[in-house]
Amino acid sequence: MQPESIKTQVHQLVDNLPDHATWEDVMYRIYVCQAIDAGIKDSDAGRTVDVKEVRKRF
């Protein structure tokens, strides 16, 4: 399965926004998508921390 292009993802993001959306809404959704993508890449690369270790640190 080929990943969707950024252009396709942006079209879907805009199409799913409510009619009264603001620029801040758009920027926030882009930020969330970037954060999720970064997290998935980190996980795929093995850059994760065990839950027990996170709890110990806090």
Q: What is the pLDDT of residues 5-58, one digit of tens each?
A: 999 999 999 999 999 999 999 999 999 999 999 999 999 999 999 999 999 999
pLDDT at 1: 57
What string of H, E and C letters represents the secondary structure of 22-45?
A: CHHHHHHHHHHHHHHHHHHHHHHC
Domain boundaries, the chain: 6-57
As a whole number of angstroms, the distance between CA 34 and CA 40 comes to 10
Is the pLDDT reported for residue 3 higher than 80?
Answer: no
- Say if CB 33 and CB 39 are below 8 A apart: no
> Residue 2's pLDDT is what?
62
Q: What is the pTM of this model?
A: 0.74
